[in-house]
Amino acid sequence: MERTLIVGLGNPGKKYARTRHNVGTDAIEVLAKRLGVSLKLGRDRAQIAETRINGQAVVIAIPTTYMNDSGEAVGPLARRYKIEDPANIIVVHDELDLEPGILRLKVGGGLAGHNGLKSISAHLHTDDYVRVRIGVGKPSSKDVGADHVLSSIPAAERRILDVAVEVAVDSIESIISNGIAAAMQDFNGR
């Protein structure tokens, strides 16, 4: 049974902690806490932990690269752990096209201008991995997109995102335990 690689996207450093762009990183930190494991710096430009979810072998990871270079960690991790089926790679990331706090699961599909996903797809040579998309809402105009995802968040919205991060972790556990089809049915209608 091939293990599953679960990656949360974000930017490294205190400056970006708890920004909209780092909700993927937040999810992996919550998952690690739930599983009682600590992430350790690995040699593939990522903090990683090898563990199990409901008996299934998983590797959880947070790239130490900037978001736009996420594939530089995900590609080598997939190779190191001999993960050949992209369905065994789950990427958790922020999604501008969803309202804050809305969570959607999908397999493959477009990259919606997300540079982290573009980098991963380039390194994996496929778009067919699983995405856990956490809505962070659209900025008022395209010109302020970077400011929107990288700036600090009003407290009320942060509470909404904190709940969404917990739900994202629930969805990851469901994907591992029940498969992506069942997880999509459970979580995409909420």
Domain edges within the chain: 4-187
| pLDDT tens-place string over residues 116-142 | 999 999 999 999 999 999 999 988 776
pLDDT along the chain (190 residues), means of 10: 93 94 97 98 95 97 97 98 96 95 96 94 98 92 76 91 98 97 93
- The reply to whether 148 belongs to the active site is no
For residues 136 and 117, give the distance between their C-alpha atoms in angstroms, rounded to a whole number: 16
Contacts of 173 (CB under 8 A, 6+ apart): 53, 54
For residues 43 and 150, give the distance between their C-alpha atoms in angstroms, rounded to a whole number: 27
| pLDDT tens-place string over residues 80-96 | 999 999 999 999 999 99
Catalytic site residue from 21, 93, 114, 123 = 21
Specify the fold of 4-187. Answer: Rossmann fold (3.40.50)
pTM of the model: 0.96
